[in-house]
Structure 1
Amino acid sequence: MMSDHDRITILLSRRLAGELTPAEEEELRLALEQDPMLQALSSALDGVTDAPPRGVTEREEQQMMERGLRQWRLRAAGLHVVGRGAEEAVPMEEVTGVKERSRRMLRIRLIRWSAAAAVVVFGTLGVFRYNKKTPPPTPMQAPVAWHEVAAKYGTRSYLDLPDGSKLWLNAGSKVQYATGKRELTLSGEGFFDIRHDPEHPFLIHAGNVVVKVLGTSLNVRAYPGDSVVETTLIDGKAEIDMPGRAIALRPSEKVTMHNGVQQVHKVVADPTYKTIIETSWVEDKLIFRKEPFREVAAKLERWYNIRIRFGNDKYLDEELTGYFKDQPIKNVMDALQLSLGFHYELAGDSILIK
């Protein structure tokens, strides 16, 4: 059974050849009236009715037809070709089917040319309609691969980040990051050496703050349960976004947020220990200066992977100062005991403060 597509093709070809009967002419006219695009294509076909000029061989005529068909198909695809080389770069397979259908359908030279053009034009119509109704597919994005690295209590870790930045993790800390992103989430404490890339700032999510880094070494501390979130800038540039405020840090500055209050402090090396306390843990130094025992106890738990319990609240807010490097927990507790005068019991991985 002949389709409407084939029927219109034949009618257009017969009209171009001057062989339409009155009935067929009326049939084609009604079809054109029902489809404005067909009217435009019919007018375009009127421009291909001229036969090749005299003196052109059959082979040359065939080559002309093939070049013409290639140009029609390029236009159908929305391409603009300039020059013979670009034109002939189109694979011949694209026009072979059209040419063969034209030869089977028609007998004389004029009909062969017009029918070939009609078939290509209808191919063009199909392209136009497809593009109008069906939007181009959205390119599929590769799934983001997330990674998590943790430093358990009693350990410290180092890792190279995918962008070339470096990260040291303190005990009881972890980070989550994605390949291909200059961004991560920190829970705990980390010292960062961020590779400089002004076009792509590095984002560190820690607690309820976001640290934007351009190329910097800094320390960020945001342990779950701690009352203080702290960012210490050693060198470079960093901006801290926190609720209600953004702070641009300068080298050797520290911003702390405690109970919603932000403060900026100057950071200097401790004159006694000749080191910056905020980053001393990277050198395996455990230092605290005038810190409440409750906060020191939390540091000791992470540093030595132990549990410290207080038999009463007597010593919780007593301030402690100390410097330890490569010392067992018993030596640390003995030193603190001398400072405050408390008693303690050490059993396995548990310490009771009396």
Structure 2
Amino acid sequence: MKTDLGKIPGYPALRYMGNQGSPILMKINKENIERYHQGRCSLEEQRIVQQWLDSEEAEMSFPENSDLNAIGDRGWKRISGRYHIDAQPKPAAGFKLRNYRMIWQLAACIALLLGGATFYYLNTDWKNSQHNTFAYKEIKTLKGQKLSVTLPDGTIVWLNSESVLRFPENFKGQLRELEFSGEAYFSVAKDASKPFIISTEKTKIQVLGTKFNLRAMATETATTVVVEEGKIRFSGDSNQLQLMLTANKRGVFETKGAIPSMQTDEVYAPKYMAWKNGELLMDNLTIEEVAEMLERWYNVKIKINRPALSGERYTGSFKNPSLQKVLESMSFAVKFSYKQNGQTFILY
């Protein structure tokens, strides 16, 4: 409701809509405020005075010559109740409340202090929460996509297609831990005081500083690690099977059978890292395996319409090739034909 100041200084007028909808105009003066304090106002007059007390006009237009001491207690009770302040005893004899505005100023100060304290508490609590909670980033690659990611410690990760890397924005504590699925090449920054640990769905890799390729595709039963430099500890999810792998060693954790198994062999490591340099290498793979690789590499769909063709094997090496070039080479070596239907290539 809007207040209207009266024309006579010190005697504002307040318009109030009564219960019947008709406006009531009443001057705010010494008499009706004292009557309000003594409980002798009508219900509608009480509402008008209460509205004036709640408005900002009470600070600058309090009627002249009003008995401020008489209404001081009531004003304090209203304000203390609004701001949840313990009630104060009545002022001692001889204490003169010089201006009712002091009450409102005091209330404003208290409100400001309470608001500031609340903001400080909430802000501090939020900062503490941020300090105690790790914020994580998640990087995903799609079919046909490859990315290079630098982690907070300086470790560089090259992500192959259809991979997911999840890591904290800052490595805190005594470990550098992250989660991974897909295929990636890791060049881990050396920090002997903070072991670097990668968790996949089935395995765990722990290093201090090394370079290796990790393949943990969700569609495959085997997780494979090939070390190019340094040493890593490769273990199954139950930690019962473990391998220590050094340069040019490959570790394979297989879950295809009834009992998980782990084995290691000697390999030529650069062959397994070639993909990050745009080299497509296929070493004695079945056509079915090659088809899965090409789907991820080029983001296409490949169908094999001749059942016997799936088991045929192919070996080839390409540098940043087009899909047509790869299929032409394969079709000549393995003796099959292919056709394109949109984003689908059919081998027959």
Matched residue of 2:329: which SS?
Answer: helix
* Correspondence for 2:159: 169
* Correspondence for 2:298: 304
Trace 1:188-267 onto structure 2 (pairs within 5 A).
188-242=182-236, 243=238, 244-258=240-254, 259=256, 260-267=260-267
Residue 179 in structure 1 maps to residue 169 in structure 2 = yes
- State the distance in 1 between where 2:268 and 2:143 align: 28
Q: Which amino acid aligns with 1:303?
A: W
- State the distance in 2 between where 1:248 and 1:227 align: 21
1:216-245 CA-partner distances (Å, limit 9, x unpaired): 011000111123211011111210111431
* Equivalent pair of 1:293/1:318 in contact (CA under 8 Å): yes
Q: What is the identity percentage for the equivalent residue pairs of Structure 1 and Structure 2?
A: 27
The TM-score normalised by the length of structure 2 is: 0.58
- State the distance in 1 between where 2:253 and 2:284 align: 18
Q: Which amino acid aligns with 2:251?
A: V
- State the distance in 2 between where 1:313 and 1:231 align: 32
- State the distance in 2 between where 1:212 and 1:347 align: 45
For structure 2, the 5+ residue unaligned runs are 1-124
- State the distance in 2 between where 1:205 and 1:299 align: 24
Q: How far off its partner does 1:337 sit?
A: 0.7
* Correspondence for 1:157: 147
For structure 1, the 5+ residue unaligned runs are 1-136, 270-275
Match of 1:295 among 289, 294, 307: 289
Matched residue of 1:212: which SS?
Answer: strand
Residue 320 in structure 1 maps to residue 310 in structure 2 = no
- State the distance in 2 between where 1:290 and 1:230 align: 17
1:301-340 CA-partner distances (Å, limit 9, x unpaired): 1111111112242122211101111221111111111111
Q: Which amino acid aligns with 1:255?
A: G
Q: How far off its partner does 1:268 sit?
A: 2.1
Q: How far off its partner does 1:347 sit?
A: 2.1
Matched residue of 1:172: which SS?
Answer: coil
1:128-163 CA-partner distances (Å, limit 9, x unpaired): xxxxxxxxx9x7553211111112211210011011
Matched residue of 2:307: which SS?
Answer: coil
* Correspondence for 1:96: none
- State the distance in 2 between where 1:229 and 1:143 align: 31
Q: How far off its partner does 1:195 sit?
A: 0.7
Q: Which amino acid aligns with 2:261?
A: V
* Correspondence for 1:331: 325
Q: How far off its partner does 1:172 sit?
A: 1.6
* Equivalent pair of 1:277/1:288 in contact (CA under 8 Å): no
* Correspondence for 1:348: 342
Q: Which amino acid aligns with 1:256?
A: V
- How many positions carry a matched residue from both structures? 211
- State the distance in 1 between where 2:222 and 2:323 align: 25
- State the distance in 2 between where 1:206 and 1:312 align: 35
Q: CA RMSD in A?
A: 1.7
- State the distance in 2 between where 1:334 and 1:249 align: 38
* Equivalent pair of 1:207/1:229 in contact (CA under 8 Å): no
* Correspondence for 1:52: none
- State the distance in 2 between where 1:207 and 1:291 align: 25
Residue 146 in structure 1 maps to residue 136 in structure 2 = yes
Matched residue of 1:316: which SS?
Answer: helix
The TM-score normalised by the length of structure 1 is: 0.57
Matched residue of 2:273: which SS?
Answer: helix
- State the distance in 2 between where 1:179 and 1:278 align: 29
Q: How far off its partner does 1:190 sit?
A: 0.5
The structure that is helix-richer by fraction is: 1
